[in-house]
């Protein structure tokens, strides 16, 4: 018996998808990078976990210039065969969950993108690091900060990079708001609101299994509001309070949160009010308020196009598929030492996990939790 393999095979067969907006073509390619030839180094990537999001990343990577899909890791032989045919992946670059440690002997793979259920990220990254390959891990990086720190330490010890799939850190309208804030166009930041949620479907899916998801909506969708509060305000929070609401204890069992409201306090005096839920649709909005102006994104974290406005007017940056830009930029980080405007490394992931741990404690105790990030 191999529970991990059996679970992942079952997951692949069910092909559960999130109710985000559909995958858009890379619609407006006015970005100079995508309008000129590229003749630099290319990051050769294997994807671990061939479910719905792994498929989305694979499709987006077909338009990448600095990153190329060259390998797969899966517990489902039929999926491996299909991906081989579709993406021209050689058999020597195909692995299952029992033998992928031998990837260390494959010089044709530089990095592995771990896109498995949350609770499997920790083991996946540790094994990838031990094999001497760079690790890209989907968010949340782990199910708690302790695991996240172990992943960071393992990658540091192995002298490989650990990056987290924070695609919004490369999104042009988001970066425009950050630029405006950095240049003082909003004045002192006073308030942030982050609304993240949708009504989840199949009650048997892994996202509603605490052992696999590590929690509920907060781990999956609320992390966007947590992370967004940090990069929109531009500071690290110093305290958090939180309240949980559960209307369906059958669907949302013990340890699986349905709806959590949480509040963050920042050293400069700004406060954030956020909502994370699996029980309400039409929640994908960020709002930033300052002394001199405001910024709003709606949708703020969906697959795009991201739309928004500020006190100066509409945001009109061109849309390129998020995962395409993410993988190209991550290739630049790994291969050329590029520094992103907003970090996407393992330390960034640990900060979000530290806040998540504190939110759950605040829900359990009813008390404000101090934060040291």
Helix H or strand E segment including 210: helix 210-213
Q: What are the tokens at 254?
A: 């013990």
Q: What are the tokens at 293?
A: 């102006």
- Look at residue 246 and give its three-state secondary structure: coil
Q: State whether the Cα torsion 368-150-113-40 is positive or negative.
A: positive
Residue 291 neighbours by CB under 8 Å, 6+ apart: 186, 187, 188, 190
By annotation, the residues acting in catalysis are: 139, 224
**Taking Cα atoms as reference points, which of 23, 351, 314, 326 lies closest to residue 176?**
314
Q: What are the tokens at 151?
A: 């992943």
The total number of residues shown for the chain amounts to 373
- For residue 192, how many other CB atoms are within 10 A of its CB? 25
What backbone phi and psi angles, to 5 degrees, belong to 109?
-120, 125
Whether the Cβ atoms of residue 213 and residue 169 lie closer than 8 Å to each other: no
Spatial distance between the Cα atoms of 367 and 373, rounded to a whole number of angstroms: 19
Spatial distance between the Cα atoms of 329 and 356, rounded to a whole number of angstroms: 27
Bridge partners (DSSP) of residue 2 are: none
Q: State whether the Cα torsion 27-33-38-41 is positive or negative.
A: negative
């Amino acid at each position: 018996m191999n529970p991990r393999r059996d679970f992942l095979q079952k997951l692949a067969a069910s092909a559960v998808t999130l109710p985000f907006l559909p995958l858009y073509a890379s619609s407006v390619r006015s970005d100079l990078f995508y309008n000129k030839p590229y003749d630099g180094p290319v990051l050769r990537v294997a994807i671990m976990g061939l479910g719905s999001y792994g498929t989305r990343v694979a499709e987006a990577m077909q338009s990448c210039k600095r990153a190329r899909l060259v390998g797969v890791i899966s517990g489902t032989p039929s999926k491996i065969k299909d991906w081989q045919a579709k993406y021209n992946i050689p058999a020597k670059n195909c692995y299952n969950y029992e033998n992928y440690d031998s990837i260390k002997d494959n010089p044709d793979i530089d990095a592995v993108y771990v896109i498995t259920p949350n609770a499997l990220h920790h083991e996946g990254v540790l094994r990838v690091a031990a094999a001497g390959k760079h690790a890209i891990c989907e968010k949340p990086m782990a199910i708690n900060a302790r695991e996240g720190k172990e992943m960071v330490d393992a990658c540091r010890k192995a002298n490989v990079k650990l990056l987290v799939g924070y695609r919004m850190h490369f999104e042009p309208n988001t970066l425009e708001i950050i630029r405006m804030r950095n240049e003082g166009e909003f004045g002192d930041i006073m308030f942030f609101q982050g609304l993240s949620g949708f009504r989840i479907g199949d009650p048997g899916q892994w996202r509603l299994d605490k052992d696999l998801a590590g929690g509920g909506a907060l781990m999956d969708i609320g992390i966007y509001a947590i992370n967004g509060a940090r990069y929109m305000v531009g500071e690290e929070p110093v305290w958090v309070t939180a309240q949980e609401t559960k209307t369906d204890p059958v669907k949302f069992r013990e340890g699986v949160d349905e709806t959590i409201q949480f509040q963050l306090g920042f050293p400069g005096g700004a406060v954030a009010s956020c909502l994370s839920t699996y029980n309400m649709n039409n929640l994908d909005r960020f709002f930033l308020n300052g002394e001199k102006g405001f910024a709003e994104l709606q949708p703020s974290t969906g697959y795009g196009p991201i739309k928004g406005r500020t006190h100066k007017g509409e945001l009109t940056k061109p849309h390129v598929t998020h995962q395409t830009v993410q993988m190209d930029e991550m290739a630049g980080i790994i291969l050329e030492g590029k520094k992103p405007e907003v970090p996407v490394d393992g330390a960034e992931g640990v900060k979000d996990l530290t806040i998540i741990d504190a939110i759950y404690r605040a829900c359990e105790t009813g008390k404000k939790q101090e934060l040291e990030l």
